[in-house]
Amino acid sequence: MNFFARRRLRNTLLSVSGMVVAYALWRMLKVALRPTAIYTGFALLALVLALALFNGRKKLPFLPLLKASSWLQFHIYAGWFSVFMFLLHSDFRLPSGMLEIILAVLFAIVALSGVAGLFITRLLPPAITRSGEPLVYERIPRYRHALQTEVENIVEEAERKSGSTAMGNFYMETLAPYFQGSSSVFLLAGNPSRHAQRILGQMDEYCRYLDKDLVDSMGRLRDCVERKRNLDFQNAAQRLLKLWLFVHIPFTYSLILVALAHAWIALVYEGRF
């Protein structure tokens, strides 16, 4: 069992144990006629605030506040725990008040986006590694431009050698849209290589009508298509790795604000501790 498996097992056991203890306490408090909603509410609010601190921790890398990976582990398992605490807080019932519904929806969005982010951050990095050369996301536009320039140079060189515009025409009709275009995250839905394979298929068909020099150039273009495929996949995957946070983080702040309002109202109208 490697380190990660051991860590996963340990943290899972810890969080499940915490849930069991929390549930037992909750049951006991209910038996004891204590205001469990107040207790679980405070616990849940504290958990959400603690989870939100992870974002702040990333903005303060210079502070010696444990490793980011430790924070992430806490964020993941405390997140699961907060979902369970939310169920306890709502007494396993669907809310019916307007503010409570808004709060529950926000919590669900944050929790589900967190779960989605967890799966994304666990599934995509290996795929990125398997896809080919790992790239820095911020440099991808530059590489795309460089690749496009390279392809154009190859095409120009082939035309110059052959004195034919066949290669140029093929480039304009088929290759230019592919190399000029940027990939979206929807590329990841289905087969990410489908576009590149279609281009390569067209190139293979076109090669039968080319002479030997142009076939060599076409071979170099095939390499460029393959690199573009990797570039597109890297772009789509790394964009998705960042885009899920566009849901998770903004809604987290909304959740905290609404939760604070909910807590204030609950204290004012319930006033029980």
Interface residue with other proteins, options 13, 50, 99, 172 (CB under 8 A):
99
Q: Does 130 bind other proteins (CB under 8 A)?
A: no
From residue 143, give the alpha-carbon distance in Å to each of 109, 175, 181, 230. 35, 17, 13, 11
Work out the angle at residue 271's Cα, subtended by the Cα atoms of residues 270 and 273, and round it to the nearest 5 degrees. 110
Task: Give yes or no for a contact between 120 and 244, defined as CB atoms under 8 angstroms apart.
Answer: yes
Q: In this structure, which long-range contacts are made by residues 168-171, counting pairs with CB atoms below 8 Å and at least 24 apart in sequence?
A: 170/206
Q: Which residue lies nearer to other proteins by CB, 48 or 258? A: 258
CB of 8 to other proteins, least distance (A): 27
Q: How far apart are CA 158 and CA 155, in angstroms?
A: 5
Q: Does 263 bind other proteins (CB under 8 A)?
A: no
Q: Which residue lies nearer to other proteins by CB, 2 or 96? A: 96
From residue 264, give the alpha-carbon distance in Å to each of 179, 215, 239. 56, 74, 38
Q: Does 69 bind other proteins (CB under 8 A)?
A: no
x/- track of binding to other proteins for residues 210-249 (CB under 8 A): -------------x---x---x-------x--xx-xx--x
Q: Which residue lies nearer to other proteins by CB, 99 or 172? A: 99
Tokens coding 151: 């392809």
Task: Give yes or no for a contact between 178 and 228, defined as CB atoms under 8 angstroms apart.
Answer: yes
Q: Which residue lies nearer to other proteins by CB, 156 or 211? A: 156
Tokens coding 230: 């990797």
Q: Which residue lies nearer to other proteins by CB, 1 or 63? A: 63
Task: Give yes or no for a contact between 251 and 106, defined as CB atoms under 8 angstroms apart.
Answer: yes
Number of residues that bind other proteins (CB under 8 A): 57
Q: Which residue lies nearer to other proteins by CB, 13 or 136? A: 136
Q: Name which of residues 155 to 214 contact other proteins (CB under 8 A).
A: none
Q: Name which of residues 2 to 61 contact other proteins (CB under 8 A).
A: 28-35
Amino acid (1-letter code) at residue 164: S
Contact positions vs other proteins (CB under 8 A): 28-35, 91, 93, 95-100, 102, 133-139, 141-147, 150, 223, 227, 231, 239, 242-243, 245-246, 249-251, 253-254, 257-258, 261, 265-273
